[in-house]
Structure 1
């Protein structure tokens, strides 16, 4: 009686090779995703912008939101930029950057309604929209 059937061995080898391929492709995919997120986080994440010097702030008509504008000076090699952060006036006081524009030194902020603000000609519906000159 032969315990090692050639067909069974070939079938088991194919299954093993398939499992190894799936594991390798999964690892490669995860590494690529990790590197991609690292590049995004390093160069494009709007929440990693420099703090800057406070310019002004404005609250929404219903008082639910406050926006604060900051002037960022990159030094001799870059121009001024304006960063605006949104503060949600609830128990959490969540803060996030909603506006980043290069070659600006002031921030004209006009509330259109309770959830819409215009900053230097760019209209944003809060809290979900944001403006970043690098992607527009």
Structure 2
């Protein structure tokens, strides 16, 4: 009889752990989606753009003016030679202008911050 109870306890423990894992995963994803996902940034008003020396990339800058906080600049990387969708690579708070300068084919400087495209990104909420 005790062996059967032990088996039931193990089964119950497995179920509790699995359900707990899914609940924590859902909460974690919800927090990421709500506070960190750069794809949810507001579109903003177009400021300027600059194309890389080899023509593979274009960075477009937009300013967002939320009603209750300061302006923010969003930089969007466009892939000129492929059908990839644009990627947000820059989001900085308390800015309303954008200066975009390419140092080489893969290094772009946005308002003094250097990024290696297409993999690096800057989000003021994380730094």
Range into which the TM-score falls when normalised by the shorter chain: over 0.9
Report the Cα offset of residue 26 of structure 1: 1.2
Count of paired positions: 127
Counterpart residue number, 1:108: 99
Structure 1 ranges of 4+ moved more than 6 A: none
Partner-residue secondary structure (3-state), 1:20: helix
Unaligned runs of at least 5 residues, structure 1: 1-8
- Who is 1:3 aligned against? none
Structure 1 length-normalised TM: 0.88
The within-5 A match list for 1:19-98 is 19-75=11-67, 77-98=68-89
Q: Distance in 1 between matches of 2:85 and 2:79?
A: 5
Q: 1:12 offset after TM fit, Å?
A: 2.6
Query: Which entry has the higher C-alpha Rg, 1 or 2?
Result: 1
Supply the RMSD in Å over aligned alpha carbons: 1.1
Q: Distance in 1 between the 2:7 and 2:79 partners?
A: 54
Mapped partners of 1:68, 1:24: distance in 2 = 48
With normalisation by structure 2, the TM-score equals 0.94
Q: CA deviation at 1:93?
A: 3.7
Corresponding residue for residue 129 of structure 1? 120
For residues 29-72 of structure 1, the C-alpha deviation after alignment (integer angstroms, 9 at most, x for no partner) is 11111011111101221110000000011111111111100010
SS in structure 2 of the partner of residue 70 of structure 1: strand
Return the structure number with greater relative CO, CA threshold 8 A, min gap 6. 2
Deviation, 1:95, is 0.6
Provide the rounded CA distance (Å) in 1 between the counterparts of 2:49 and 2:4: 68
User: What secondary structure does 2:95 align onto?
Assistant: coil
